[in-house]
A and B are shown apart, each in its own frame.
Chain A
Amino acid sequence: MRKWGVTAAACAAVIVGAGLFVTRPRLADPAVLSGLVPDIAQGEQVFHAAGCAACHSAPGAEGEARLVLSGGRRFSTPFGTFVAPNISSDPAHGIGDWTPVDLAGALWHGSSPDRQHYYPAFPYASYVRMAPQDVVSLHAFLMSLPADATPSATHEVGFPFNLRLALGGWKLLFLRSGWIVDGDLSGQQQRGRYLVEALGHCGECHTPRNALGGLILSKWLQGAPNPGGKGRIPGLAPDQLDWSEADIAEYLKSGFTPDYDSAGGEMAEVVLNTAKLSDADRLAIASYLKAIPQSRD
């Protein structure tokens, strides 16, 4: 009997060990980035399209201060409160000592250079689609931004969500590369798809999540409860958002809705970023949104 128990324990250890091995934090393959030359101006566009400042600038930062990525904004979710870390170019408290490969590991695999899982509050489940050239350019732009020595705060997450090892399982279930909307898209719609599905990470808020915090892809961009509290984040499917493409592009530029109210809530933050994109990119986003599946099928 005792022998049987030992065998069971050994089996369990092997299974857990295998599980941890399969779900271990992955780093990026340096070969994918080799030979790519950073374009800092392009990196700045990636920075705005990906909305880095919306989370990583200091709480309430305005104007130029949004380029100081000292962290500290708090995001309350059903899993706990996440505090955005310092990703300024400070080598000790930020990411100043990161290589482009380190950044790729964070963006594509949600792993830190020292092989820790990041929480998916950092939207790597979207950034996993970021083009290698954009990663290299973004890295160069981030390194050109000011250093700030504010230490990163700890996330306020309770059991069991404080077990970072379990995030490997989350990734196994929900971290997927590849496009969400497939099929016949024009060149403009494909550009919009890249901006929405990869950089803009729109689905992180506009798509509902299951109990484990994975996006319900069959309801892509169809609206979701607001994790921060009251109200509902609106759906963007063509039958839910009856704005014209020009309306959408104008909203992403100036924040004006079709009745000339201004963007509210988190979208006001988003518009600060999309305002810095080109007209062509904003129209690309709009044309993609008209191509996503309807909410009723």
Chain B
Amino acid sequence: MTKYLSFAAAGLLTVAIVGTSMAQEAKNPAVKARQSLMSLYAFNIGQLGAMAKGEAEYNAEAAAAAASNLATLTQVDQSAMWPAGTDNAADPSSRALPAIWQNFPDVSAKGQALAEAAVAMQAAAGQDLDALKAAMGPLGGACSACHKAYRAPKE
């Protein structure tokens, strides 16, 4: 009986683990693409953030390169990455709220604000460490403004 129970428990655990990993791995190429774009943002902001925090030594050239990558990434045309039916209700791998599809003008205004913050960072990053640090706040604010309105909380 105990053996049977532990079998059942193991089975449930497997289902739970598989269920979780399914919820995290995107299958839809559009969802995958936009999540990858977010990772590229994060990687480049991470280069800048490490210098802002003093984890990495400030290097004007590397900072300028990361900021320039970021500015380029914010210019990527994402219109094909957000097809209907890829919100978090339809696709559990996504945290994109349905409100995105009801407020496209606001979403693109927030995207524009991110592009502007990235351009400001591009001007600041190669200048000096203080300028870079000061530009981190508005950049984070732009990310957060959109996530706050249009991204579901982490499970």
Contact = CB atoms under 8 A, between A and B. Distances in A.
B151 A256 contact: no
A21 interface: no
Contact of A254 (B46, B55, B140, B147): B140
B154 A260 contact: no
Interface in A231-275: 231, 244, 246-247, 249-250, 253-256, 259-265, 268-269, 271-272, 275
A108 B1 CA distance: 60
A250 B48 CA distance: 12
B52 A275 contact: no
B53 A250 contact: yes
A246 B54 contact: yes
Contact of B140 (A255, A259, A269): A255
B153 A264 contact: yes
Nearest to B145: A62
A62 B109 CA distance: 13
A2 interface: no
Contacts of B46: 259-260
A262 B151 CA distance: 11
Contact of A275 (B49, B53, B137): B137
Interface string B124-155: 00000000000011011101110110010111
A228 to B, nearest CB: 10
B133 to A, nearest CB: 8
B57 to A, nearest CB: 14
A261 B53 contact: no
What does DSSP make chain B's interface, helix, strand, loop or mixed? helix
A264 B147 contact: yes
B53 A262 contact: no
What does DSSP make chain A's interface, helix, strand, loop or mixed? mixed
B136 A256 contact: yes
B49 A231 contact: no
Interface in B47-69: 49, 52-55
Given A246-B55, A250-B53, A268-B147, A256 B140 contact: yes
Contacts of A230: 153, 155
A290 to B, nearest CB: 15
Most chain B beta-carbon neighbours within 10 Å: one of A230, A256, A261: A256
A59 B54 CA distance: 37
Contacts of A261: 42
Interface residues of B, number: 24
Interface string B25-61: 0000000000000000111011001001111000000
Contacts of A250: 49, 52-53, 136
Given A250-B53, A256-B49, A231 B140 contact: no
Interface in A95-109: none
B62 to A, nearest CB: 16
A246 B54 CA distance: 8
A271 B46 CA distance: 19
A253 B46 CA distance: 15
Contacts of B139: 254
Most chain B beta-carbon neighbours within 10 Å: one of A231, A250, A254, A269: A254
B121 to A, nearest CB: 11
A128 B130 CA distance: 37
A267 to B, nearest CB: 9
Contact of A268 (B42, B144, B154): B144
Given A250-B52, A256-B49, A259-B46, A271 B144 contact: yes
Interface of A: 62, 230-231, 244, 246-247, 249-250, 253-256, 259-265, 268-269, 271-272, 275
11 contacts: A231-B154, A246-B55, A247-B53, A249-B53, A250-B53, A254-B139, A255-B144, A259-B42, A262-B140, A264-B148, A268-B148
Given A246-B53, A255-B141, 14 more contacts: A244-B55, A250-B49, A250-B52, A254-B140, A255-B140, A255-B144, A256-B49, A256-B136, A256-B140, A259-B42, A260-B42, A260-B49, A263-B147, A272-B141
Q: Nearest 4 CB-CB pairs, A to B?
A: A254-B140, A246-B53, A260-B42, A262-B143
